[in-house]
Amino acid sequence: MTQALRKVVTFDEFVAKYPDNTGKRYELYDGVVVEMPQPTDDHEEVVVFLSTKITLEYSRLSLPYGIPKTVLVKPLENESAYSPDVLLLNLPNLINEPLWKKESTVSQAASISLLVEVVSTNWRDDYLKKYADYEQMGIPEHWIIDYAALGGREFIGKPKQPTILVCCLEEGECRISKFRGDDRIQSPTFPQLNLTAEQIFRVGKSLSNNPSCVTRNLG
């Protein structure tokens, strides 16, 4: 579970203090600093797999994109700041970002071509809070990867099953498409992407069963 630290802070106070020297990860939710749960190995392996697949695709298409290591996404309407698991930046627009040079933060939808949240124990944040803020920001496409079927039944069905939600902005509102099993993921950003839901769901297990193919503590 996420743990909210009591003091309410502004975004400027948040970026001045965090990350601290503890090695812990934090996000800011409406002025409340939230300590994020430590990712599991499967979670990190899914992140690495997706980052690689997306990088190969935008490189193949010679698109001016990039995936940074540590960048915050800040909704302008509130004192929040998120660190997505995968953030695909539209590099030419960074010149228009007022917080980019000083704080490595983006707040404009034009800077974000795609972002991915890989669900962990704080699943309500991904399905509710972040979903609403990303929609309000006008982010054109974001994915919610629930490979461990942790989310609520209203999102991933009953009985619960691993699900990928691709949320695409249409006329100011998100249209959600769900993918499971051998469904090929339909991405408006990468319409030729050859990737199924099952490939993502099984990556953690397959890597864990073959230690020679994975480096632990990916950071």
DSSP secondary structure of 192-203: T---BHHHHHHH
In the sheet that holds 65-66, the strands lie side by side as 65-66, 86-90, 112-118, 141-146, 163-170, 173-179
What amino acid occupies position 122? N
* CA separation, residue 61 to residues 64, 67, 165, 191, 196 (Å): 9, 15, 24, 11, 20
* Beta-ladder partners of 88: 114
Q: Is the pLDDT confidence value at 217 over 60?
A: no
How far apart are the C-alpha atoms of 53 and 58, rounded to whole Å? 9
Given this model, what pLDDT does residue 48 score? Answer: 95
pTM for this entry: 0.88
Given this model, what pLDDT does residue 22 score? Answer: 78
Q: Are the beta carbons of 180 and 10 closer than 8 angstroms? A: no
Given this model, what pLDDT does residue 41 score? Answer: 85
How far apart are the C-alpha atoms of 159 and 82, rounded to whole Å? 30
Instruction: Give the mean model confidence (pLDDT) for residues 3-22.
Output: 81
Q: Are the beta carbons of 34 and 28 closer than 8 angstroms? A: yes
pLDDT in tens, 102-124: 999 999 999 999 999 999 888 99
Position 4 confidence tier, pLDDT thresholds 50, 70, 90: low
- If we measure between CA atoms, which residue out of 81, 64, 65 comes closest to residue 73? 81
Kind plus residue range of the DSSP H or E element containing 170? strand 163-170
Helix axes 41-60, 197-208, angle to 10 degrees: 130
